Amino acid sequence: MINKLLIANRGEIACRVIRTARKLGISTVAVYSSADANALHVSMADEAVHIGPAPSKESYLKGEVILKHAKALNVDAIHPGYGFLSENAKFARACDEAGIIFIGPPEQAIAAMGSKSAAKNIMQDAGVPLVPGYHGDEQSSETLKHHANDMGYPVLLKAAAGGGGKGMRQVWSEDEFDDALNAAKREAMASFSDDIMLIEKYLTQPRHVEIQVFCDTQGNGVYLFERDCSVQRRHQKIIEEAPAPGISDDLRQNMGEAALKAAHAINYVGAGTVEFLLDADGRFYFMEMNTRLQVEHPVTEKITGEDLVEWQITVADGQPLPKGQADLKLTGHAFEARLYAEDPQHDFLPATGNLKLLRPPAESEHIRVDTGVVQGDEVSVYYDPMIAKLIVWDTNREKALQRLLSALRDYHVAGVTTNLSFLYNVASHPAFRKAELVTTFIETHHDSLFNQPGQNDDSLVPAAALLILLTQEKRDPSENIRSTPWDIPLAWRANHQLRQKLELVINQQTYELTVTHTGSTEKPNQWQVEHQDKVYNLTGHLEAHTLHAHVDGYQQRIGFSQDAAHYTLFSADGTIDVHYVAPDLGETDDAGAHSDFAAPMNGTVVDTMVSTGEKVKKGTTLIVMEAMKMEHAIKAPADGVVTEFFFAGGDLVDGGAQLLEFKIDE
């Protein structure tokens, strides 16, 4: 009987597990690093122990330290969440040896699936269909290249120990092979201390469809249907949904049974996910099995009405599965959107900072928010930059999508760059609405997802201008503190000038507007704004986080958040980011934003890839940086030469610092 549970994790998943434990009357122990002393998961647990400094290697990955505390506190079981120790066979064994239940599969099952190559061998023997490829032991570059040449390009290099899209590279031709292999191996080494590679034929338009399986110690197994996780960036999921649209009952059953075959082949126990690639002809191929609870498990919970953490605890307790296959019903449709602190405009680089404003939409039977942070928390460099998971459910996909869009509009975050507007752009995209889901979704629709020049100019540009005018007006004139350069009152208040320029950067595009103050003492908030050949008459007011905008008689309520000169507007037409460029002082954005060769964030230089003075072609990688275990290549914008590198391999670099000087060929 599990009476006391330790959660060897942090953030949203720790909070998620604590919620179920509490529902079941199980007392909880949280663990925390020095960076998390005041974190939400710590305050939610009945007890909490400090396990080390901020870096995960010295805290959340310290199995022996966690186990020592678990023993001292008489813990019955440990839930590892996902990531960290969740797929660590040694840790599972150590728990076992200490007489503590590890809530996950047996050590052998974890080990069997721990290497993608070994897993493929097992699945091949069990008759589960595989993506064609090479997953052998012979690892010399020549052998790997030989196999890639044989199977024909494109191919995908994958780290056998990989996860989270790390150590993975697409290769489109033999010329690119060596560079890609080196980069994938380096990334794999840095992330997993193991650079064994496998090669797969790269399928060009597949869907990622995965099956949730569950097995108990009595040998029973069920599948809880599928999730479609095709919408990905950098091979990492962003929006998942269940069920997968357009899957026939037959295909669902075939995939479900294949997944169970995979689970039984390794005597699986507990929650597991079998990932498949599904091609346009309905053929599916085993990719890998994740031997833990997945980030996206809530969509399965919403369509089945089951609590998967409760199932995990039941099974870990040695009891049979709560339901058999015939008792499981699929109802309605669910989406999960992952809200990350990251910058979609800069290759989804992780962002850090203080969550000055964090207002999620209200939860209901349709809306669920799984998070591990509260307003005022820091998103630090140490951990995954996920802020929350927004989960919605309704009786069909169309309605659920409507809920997702409105919940995204109601999700307000400021202080940290997030992917909120990007999520909105994806979810509102016509191809997404039509469920045209493929893993290349984001690349395929790149232009419409990222650049929206001119989109909604007529309603959003004036609304953005109005917001700036109103927030600037609201400033107390006695507040003469110029702590930031944009704290400059608009000129008509300073010197009663009635007409002036207003420069805004909206979704990366610069707008130069001319503003005339048309208000009076009684009705001060009225302006006429000119943009190119258009003239708008604006009035309105602010109320908490809402802008009441009247543009030429058209009224709109728009949610907004402000962080210094950065504004985000959440309107029915979408989310827009607005940057107010203070008069006379020019652009005051982050250092280096204009510079092509600035370090995208704090990190380390992996290596310089060309020599100074060497002629290089446009697109050649000049320098490679690593931040948060991901590599970022800085490429030549045109043919030319690097005249100087300011950093060398191994150097630490601050975000924004100039990395090199480049001379473009005349």
- Within positions 94 to 153, which residues make up the interface with ligand ADP, using CB under 6 A? 131
Grouping H, G, I as helix, E, B as strand and the rest as coil, residue 622 is strand
The angle that helices 116-126 and 249-265 make with each other, rounded to 10 degrees, is 110
Near ligand ADP by CB under 6 A, which window of 10-18, 164-172, 303-311, 338-346? 164-172
The angle that helices 63-72 and 89-97 make with each other, rounded to 10 degrees, is 20
Site string (494-533) toward ligand ADP, x via CB under 6 A: ----------------------------------------
Nearest approach, Cβ of 601 to ligand ADP (angstroms)? Answer: 21
Near ligand ADP by CB under 6 A, which window of 163-171, 466-474, 608-616, 626-634? 163-171
277 lines the binding site for ligand ADP (CB under 6 A) = yes
Asked if 366 contacts 403 with a C-beta cutoff of 8 angstroms, the reply is yes
Taking the least distance from each CB to ligand ADP, the nearer of 204 and 611 is: 204
- 138: phi then psi, degrees, rounded to nearest 5: -65, 115
292: annotated active-site residue: yes
15 lines the binding site for ligand ADP (CB under 6 A) = no
- Type of residue at 610: V
Q: What 3 state SS string does 55-91 have? A: CHHHCCCCHHHHHHHHHHCCCCEEECCCCCCCCCHHH
Near ligand ADP by CB under 6 A, which window of 155-163, 411-419, 498-506, 572-580? 155-163
Distances from the Cα of 489 to the Cαs of 477, 486, 561, 580, in angstroms?
A: 8, 8, 19, 12
Closest listed residue to residue 370, CA positions, set 34, 659, 26, 81:
81
Q: Which residues on adjacent β-strands are paired with residue 504? A: 511, 580
Taking the least distance from each CB to ligand ADP, the nearer of 10 and 135 is: 135
Please identify which residue in 156, 295, 337, 558 interacts with ligand ADP, judged by CB under 6 A. Answer: 156
Near ligand ADP by CB under 6 A, which window of 91-99, 157-165, 336-344, 372-380? 157-165
- Within positions 214 to 233, which residues make up the interface with ligand ADP, using CB under 6 A? 232
Nearest approach, Cβ of 54 to ligand ADP (angstroms)? Answer: 25
Please identify which residue in 87, 187, 275, 342 interacts with ligand ADP, judged by CB under 6 A. Answer: 275
Q: Give the residue at shortest CB distance from ligand ADP.
A: 439
Task: Compute how many residues bind ligand ADP; rule: CB under 6 A.
Answer: 21
442 lines the binding site for ligand ADP (CB under 6 A) = no
Nearest approach, Cβ of 419 to ligand ADP (angstroms)? Answer: 18
Question: In the sheet where 386-394 sits, what is the strand order?
Answer: 284-290, 270-278, 207-215, 221-233, 236-242, 333-340, 386-394, 367-371
Name the residue with tokens 């460099």.
381
Select which of 169, 227, 252, 292 is catalytic.
Answer: 292
Question: Which ranges of 440-489 does DSSP label H, i.e. alpha helix?
Answer: 441-444, 446-450, 457-474
Alpha carbon 239 to its chain's center: 9
Round to whole Å and give the CA distance between 362 and 499. Answer: 42
Nearest approach, Cβ of 128 to ligand ADP (angstroms)? Answer: 15
86 lines the binding site for ligand ADP (CB under 6 A) = no
Closest listed residue to residue 185, CA positions, set 205, 171, 202:
171
Please identify which residue in 288, 301, 378, 631 interacts with ligand ADP, judged by CB under 6 A. Answer: 288
Please identify which residue in 163, 243, 298, 462 interacts with ligand ADP, judged by CB under 6 A. Answer: 163
292 lines the binding site for ligand ADP (CB under 6 A) = no
87 lines the binding site for ligand ADP (CB under 6 A) = no
- 433: phi then psi, degrees, rounded to nearest 5: -55, -40
**Enzyme catalytic residues:** 292
Chain residues in the site for ligand ADP (CB under 6 A)? 131, 156, 158, 162-165, 168, 200-203, 206, 208, 232, 235, 275, 277, 287-288, 439
